[in-house]
């Protein structure tokens, strides 16, 4: 996500999309004998494979020989570098003095305090992550990051992946591919000898080898090698050869890291030594394809997790247990919310109860649109590829689109709404008085996700977004940004969700000139600073190089009840698409400009100069034009609008998955598909039960009744397990007094005998509870 050379391995990681489902773990066979058979010396797994290969693979010695030779040369070069006085400024403002090429971040941490030294995972030097034992080369700003920092956690898990890779080489003699950190740990991908597969019985032996590496406190040693040296070092491994040849330009260098016998192609940085890892566990394994391409070799992938404290591992396991209980796929099945079918993988079938939640979420956002001056549109689901070429998506996103031929031309299902909304804006002349135009759409989108990456509602192929594009004047950007931040607070606060913000800046494959990008990034930075200064201690982080290809963006990450983080909302400030589609509006001075405009410009305007719809190309497979070829000069008296892309839920499907797990299936009343269950004490009051159902349904509430032959206790228990918000138990007394006995799911004291409330009063209270969209269900 986040210098062509340094990104070599990371780009390979980003390319891995086609995950296969987890292999079915083979259970060890129980011995037939009454007594356990003694294992052969060194044999640790049911597969009969020794704990470690003896002798070890020859490539280990070959790698070390090259490493040691080049290391001696580089150490000799470093020894010749002049030692100069440098000053290091810490985050606190404190300044430390030392010598260049001698002073390290670790020495500074140790000098400050033993506890800081022990908990620091990685350094950041002038914004660049830096190994703690790597000497500083000049005066700089220094930050010391621990495991709780996102970058510190990522480095810690990346280092742990190297320990896993070492264990796999020592145990299997395999060919390693890539081993990155991920959201909840790390994995390493590899090809086992003779195409073998990882078994569940291999986990313990691998953990034992990893524990040896950790106990040895193996230092992570960084070394820079040329492309030629890398090809020689990894001559035994065709996967590393491919990455080196494909990702590292000729005549350049990159780094490798050594810990123990493992040497791997890696940008780093890493923890000082393996002993920093106090808890290490393998979690699962799966199959995958090299670089995510099904045409490539099938590989084995092993996932793990690690922590700098054993207590954190215990807490992580408890969280996983709770997360399993809250899994939206499990709850979705139990509550009959949705299902998937092999006839349309990655496309959700929402059932009636699921649609109640879906529609309630949409209604909430739609009501907010009305209050905040948004207008809804509906655009087509498929477009000629000419549109996507003009927008730039064809060049940057084609592989993730569903494409097909229509009358010998290439078309595609839309994966996003923004180009279509540009056509809506540009279909007629616009005036400055109309701006801002807040254009919203709940359109259906399709993205060609790899089959192995599909995961319940969180990763799908067909979905809908609460998508909005704001077309505004340059002087309206700040006010629109402030309004969006308020929108986020309103929506997320309504669900009890907290959020954090990251500014993602210009990527390498960006569209447009750098000056425009700098301008856009500066505007977002200003908006974030202003919001955080007035929102009670909020802060934001920088996420370099991860913006959209057409503009920088603010990514909003929400945290659920288990403190898990999910990226949902986004704000993207776009100066590029309005230029690509030649969008413009008449300024306040348009009449004056029109009076003096040349005849040629007037003729262009009369021919529909501002119309943005691209003509269909005769050869839809032709190479897309250069971006500048679509752009025209502004009509005199006109200006370009700025385009703000915005979503809050993200996709409805993903947001429903997050809410399902956040609430653990206990939906707040206004969202709940099972709001009220009415249970009769005796058949004689069934008519009153039916009357009550009708009265509450007239007010838009989801009311079920149970007039089956089951006992009253069983009916109530069934309703409780189904997570009805309220259960009305009615008998002769309630019928005669026109009251209801209300049991509130969230208030235990009401479960035995609820409060008797007159029907008219109950109706009023429940309508208020529903309309106010409260989390608290007290009435």
- Asked if residues 532 and 539 have their Cβ atoms less than 8 Å apart, the reply is yes
3-state SS, one letter per residue, for 296-338:
CCEEEEEEEEEECCHHHHHHHHHHHHHHHHHCHHHHHHHCCCE
| Cα separation values, 389 from 327, 629, 631, Å | 40, 11, 13
Tell me which of 393, 410, 430, 469 is the catalytic residue: 469
Tell me which of 154, 247, 353, 447 is the catalytic residue: 447
Q: Which helix (H) or strand (E) holds 395?
A: helix 393-397
Residues 14, 1: Cα–Cα separation, whole Å? 7
Please tell me the number of Cα atoms within 13 Å of 445 on its side-chain side: 23
Concerning whether 328 is annotated as a catalytic residue, the answer is no
- Asked if residues 397 and 688 have their Cβ atoms less than 8 Å apart, the reply is no
Tell me which of 153, 523, 553, 770 is the catalytic residue: 553
- Asked if residues 712 and 741 have their Cβ atoms less than 8 Å apart, the reply is no
**Residues in contact with 147: Cβ distance below 8 Å, sequence separation at least 6, in sequence order:** 119, 121, 153, 156, 307, 308
Tell me which of 168, 177, 266, 418 is the catalytic residue: 418
How many residues does this entry show for the chain? 779
Concerning whether 111 is annotated as a catalytic residue, the answer is no
Q: Please give the backbone phi and psi of residue 132, each rounded to the nearest 5 degrees, phi first.
A: -65, -30
Residues 454, 347: Cα–Cα separation, whole Å? 10
Concerning whether 154 is annotated as a catalytic residue, the answer is no
Strand partners, 338: 350
**Residues in contact with 280: Cβ distance below 8 Å, sequence separation at least 6, in sequence order:** 160, 163, 207, 210, 211, 214, 304, 305, 306
- Asked if residues 344 and 369 have their Cβ atoms less than 8 Å apart, the reply is no
Residues 451, 296: Cα–Cα separation, whole Å? 15
Tell me which of 218, 465, 580, 693 is the catalytic residue: 465
Pull the structure tokens for residue 383. Answer: 């477009």
3-state SS, one letter per residue, for 532-559:
HHHCCCCCEEEECCCCECCECEEEEEEE
Pull the structure tokens for residue 217. Answer: 């406190």
| Cα separation values, 581 from 140, 390, 584, Å | 44, 7, 9
Residue corresponding to tokens 């391409």:
293
Nearest to 298, CA basis, from 289, 308, 310? 289
- Beta-strand (E) ranges in 42-200? 85-90, 95-99, 120-125, 128-130, 140-146, 175-176, 181-182, 185-191
Tell me which of 212, 353, 645, 770 is the catalytic residue: 645
Nearest to 288, CA basis, from 280, 279, 300? 300
Concerning whether 447 is annotated as a catalytic residue, the answer is yes
Concerning whether 467 is annotated as a catalytic residue, the answer is yes
Q: N- to C-terminal Cα distance for the chain?
A: 48
Residues 489, 535: Cα–Cα separation, whole Å? 10
Buried-exposed string 93-111: b where 16+ CB fall within 10 A, e elsewhere: eeebebebbebbbbbbbee
How far does Cα 496 stand from its chain's mean position?
Answer: 20
Q: Which helix (H) or strand (E) holds 689?
A: helix 686-698
Q: Please give the backbone phi and psi of residue 710, each rounded to the nearest 5 degrees, phi first.
A: -70, 160
For the chain, the C-alpha Rg in angstroms (whole number) is: 31
**Residues in contact with 733: Cβ distance below 8 Å, sequence separation at least 6, in sequence order:** 739, 756
Concerning whether 273 is annotated as a catalytic residue, the answer is no
- Asked if residues 426 and 582 have their Cβ atoms less than 8 Å apart, the reply is yes
**Residues in contact with 595: Cβ distance below 8 Å, sequence separation at least 6, in sequence order:** none
- Asked if residues 179 and 172 have their Cβ atoms less than 8 Å apart, the reply is no
Concerning whether 720 is annotated as a catalytic residue, the answer is no
Catalytic center residues: 418, 447, 465, 467, 469, 553, 645
């Amino acid at each position: 996500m986040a210098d062509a050379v340094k990104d070599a391995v990371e780009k390979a990681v980003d390319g891995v999309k086609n995950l296969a489902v987890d292999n079915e773990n083979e259970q060890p066979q129980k011995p037939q004998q009454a007594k356990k058979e003694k294992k052969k010396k060194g044999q640790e797994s049911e597969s009969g494979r020794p704990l470690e290969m003896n002798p070890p693979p020859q490539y280990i010695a070959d790698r070390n020989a090259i490493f040691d030779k080049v290391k001696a040369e580089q150490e000799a070069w470093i020894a010749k570098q002049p030692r100069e006085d440098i000053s290091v400024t810490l985050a606190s403002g404190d300044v430390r003095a030392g010598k260049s090429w001698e002073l390290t971040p670790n020495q500074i941490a140790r000098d400050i305090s033993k506890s800081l030294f022990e908990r620091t995972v990685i350094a950041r030097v002038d914004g660049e992550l830096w190994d703690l034992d790597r000497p500083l080369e000049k005066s700089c700003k220094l930050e010391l990051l621990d495991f709780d920092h996102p970058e510190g956690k990522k480095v810690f898990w990346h280092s742990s992946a190297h320990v896993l890779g070492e264990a796999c080489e020592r145990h299997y003699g395999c060919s390693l591919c890539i081993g990155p950190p991920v959201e909840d740990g790390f994995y390493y991908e590899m090809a086992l000898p003779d195409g073998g597969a990882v078994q569940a019985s291999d986990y313990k032996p691998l953990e034992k080898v990893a524990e040896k590496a950790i106990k040895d406190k193996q230092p992570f040693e960084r070394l820079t090698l040329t492309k030629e040296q890398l090809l020689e070092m990894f001559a035994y491994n065709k996967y590393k050869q491919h990455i080196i040849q494909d990702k590292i330009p000729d005549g350049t260098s990159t780094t490798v890291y050594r810990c123990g016998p493992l040497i791997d192609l890696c940008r780093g940085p890493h923890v000082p030594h393996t002993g920093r890892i106090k808890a290490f566990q393998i979690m699962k394994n799966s199959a995958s394809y090299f670089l995510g391409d099904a045409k490539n070799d099938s590989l084995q992938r092993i996932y793990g997790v690690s922590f700098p404290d054993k207590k954190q591992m215990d807490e992580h396991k408890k969280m996983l247990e709770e997360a399993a209980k809250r899994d939206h796929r499990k709850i979705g099945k139990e509550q009959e919310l949705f299902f998937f079918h092999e006839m349309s993988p990655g496309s959700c079938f929402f059932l009636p109860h699921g649609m109640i939640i879906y529609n309630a979420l949409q209604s909430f956002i739609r009501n907010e649109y009305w209050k905040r001056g948004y207008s809804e549109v509906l655009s087509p689901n498929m477009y000629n590829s000419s549109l996507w070429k003009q927008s730039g998506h064809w060049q940057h996103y084609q592989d993730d689109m569903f494409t097909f031929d229509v009358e010998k031309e290439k078309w595609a299902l839309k994966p996003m709404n923004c180009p279509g909304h540009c056509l809506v804006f540009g279909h007629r002349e616009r005036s400055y008085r109309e701006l801002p135009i807040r254009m919203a759409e709940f359109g259906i989108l399709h993205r060609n996700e790899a089959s192995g990456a599909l995961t319940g509602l969180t990763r799908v192929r067909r979905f809908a977004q609460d998508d909005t594009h704001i077309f505004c004047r340059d002087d309206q950007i700040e006010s629109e940004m402030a309004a969006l931040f308020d929108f986020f607070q309103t929506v997320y606060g309504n669900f009890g969700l907290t959020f954090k913000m990251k500014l993602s800046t210009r990527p390498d494959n960006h569209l447009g000139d750098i000056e425009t990008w700098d301008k856009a990034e500066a505007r977002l930075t200003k908006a974030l600073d202003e919001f955080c200064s007035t929102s009670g201690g909020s802060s934001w982080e920088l996420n370099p190089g991860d913006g959209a290809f057409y503009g920088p963006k603010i990514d909003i990450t929400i945290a659920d009840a288990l403190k898990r983080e999910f990226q949902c909302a986004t704000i993207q400030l776009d100066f590029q698409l309005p230029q690509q589609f030649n969008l413009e509006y008449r300024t306040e001075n348009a009449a004056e400009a029109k009076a003096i405009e040349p005849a040629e410009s007037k003729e262009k305007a009369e021919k529909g100069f501002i119309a943005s719809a691209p003509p269909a190309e005769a050869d839809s497979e032709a190479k897309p034009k250069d971006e500048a070829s679509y752009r025209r000069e502004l009509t005199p008296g006109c200006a370009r609008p700025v385009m703000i892309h915005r979503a809050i839920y993200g996709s409805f499907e993903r947001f429903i998955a997050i809410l399902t797990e956040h609430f653990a299936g206990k939906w707040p009343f206004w969202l709940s598909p099972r709001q009220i269950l009415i249970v009769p004490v005796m058949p004689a009051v069934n008519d009153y039960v039916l009357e009550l159902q009708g009265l509450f349904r007239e007010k838009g509430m989801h009311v079920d009744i149970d007039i089956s032959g089951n006992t009253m206790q069983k009916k109530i228990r069934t309703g409780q397990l189904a997570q009805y918000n309220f259960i009305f138990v009615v008998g002769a007394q309630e019928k005669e007094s026109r009251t209801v006995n209300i049991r509130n799911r969230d208030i235990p004291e009401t479960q035995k005998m609820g409060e008797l409330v007159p029907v008219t009063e109950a109706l009023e209270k429940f309508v208020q509870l529903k309309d106010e969209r409260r989390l608290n269900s007290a009435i």
